[in-house]
Chains A and B, each alone.
Chain A
């Protein structure tokens, strides 16, 4: 994959919401599913298959990383956003803001 700095591109909705759900802190799989459902007002309900397929790709790209928990007795594996993932998310948010600005400019004109 091209580095984000050289060629930013829109994220898929699943990836965007996954990164967004991790922005506030590390989460485990089921936590992400619930958070994304809440963030999207129930519109996006990830299945386990979709979630872990996306998590695998995000781990490969190093946009997320396993969260090392101090309490190792907890068997749930959590994930956190990496700096690269945060940069990607911020770039996407900036792109969306530009789109929103364009929409509001045009709708105000009309």
Chain B
């Protein structure tokens, strides 16, 4: 439970101000109900909640980061699409990951690193798209 409470601190400040107390209450209630079950169930509960919080934290920070793009799109005739932003973020992450990659390694190692970076980028793009659509973006246009 302590780990879950610690994870809640990772949310953006505005989100925490609005929901942190409620989230702690809800977590405590849900945990209290689970504690009556077997230890495995409690572990499963904690893992599930931790995953949900981490995804929520990622989504909220993503929304904070993408806010200027969404506003700009709204002001200039809704040009931004969820998929276009997801692809742009994917390219950006790849452009960051590749230059900071390990140096002086074999070509196989470098290839594997690039492959890994590509998987990370695809995962990020999927998450960005999910967050955008969940926050009201249409698949074709934002908001």
Residues of chain A whose beta carbon lies under 8 Å from any beta carbon of chain B:
1-2, 9, 12, 14, 28-30, 33, 45-57, 61, 75-77
Q: List 14 A-B contacts (CB under 8 A).
A: A2-B143, A29-B25, A30-B29, A47-B53, A48-B26, A49-B49, A49-B51, A49-B52, A50-B52, A50-B56, A51-B26, A53-B134, A57-B134, A77-B22
- Assess the A50–B55 pair: CB atoms within 8 A: yes
Binary CB contact string for chain B from 40 to 69 against chain A (1 if under 8 A, 0 otherwise): 000000001101111111011000000000
Give which listed residue, B49, B134, B143, contacts A12 with CB less than 8 A. Answer: B134
- Assess the B57–A49 pair: CB atoms within 8 A: yes
- Assess the B52–A9 pair: CB atoms within 8 A: no
- Assess the B56–A52 pair: CB atoms within 8 A: yes
Residues of chain B whose beta carbon lies under 8 Å from any beta carbon of chain A:
15, 18-19, 22-23, 25-27, 29-30, 48-49, 51-57, 59-60, 133-136, 138, 143
How many interface contacts (CB-CB < 8 Å) are there between A and B? 69
Residues in B with CB closer than 8 Å to A1 are 136, 143
Give which listed residue, B18, B30, B133, B135, contacts A30 with CB less than 8 A. Answer: B30
- Assess the B56–A55 pair: CB atoms within 8 A: no
Query: With A and B bound together, what is the CA distance between A32 and B10 in angstroms?
Result: 24
Instruction: Considering the complex, give the chain B residue whose CB is closest to the CB of A57.
Output: B135
Query: With A and B bound together, what is the CA distance between A77 and B19 in angstroms?
Result: 10
Instruction: Considering the complex, give the chain B residue whose CB is closest to the CB of A55.
Output: B19
- Assess the A9–B51 pair: CB atoms within 8 A: no
Query: With A and B bound together, what is the CA distance between A34 and B134 in angstroms?
Result: 22
Query: With A and B bound together, what is the CA distance between A57 and B55 in angstroms?
Result: 15
Query: With A and B bound together, what is the CA distance between A55 and B55 in angstroms?
Result: 15
- Assess the B135–A48 pair: CB atoms within 8 A: no
Q: Which 3 pairs show the lowest CB-CB distances between chains A and B?
A: A47-B52, A49-B56, A49-B52
Closest Cβ of chain B to A28, distance in Å, is 8
Given contacts A33-B30, A52-B23, 17 further A-B contacts (CB under 8 A): A1-B136, A14-B134, A28-B22, A28-B26, A29-B25, A30-B25, A45-B48, A47-B52, A47-B53, A48-B27, A49-B54, A49-B55, A49-B56, A53-B59, A54-B134, A57-B135, A75-B25
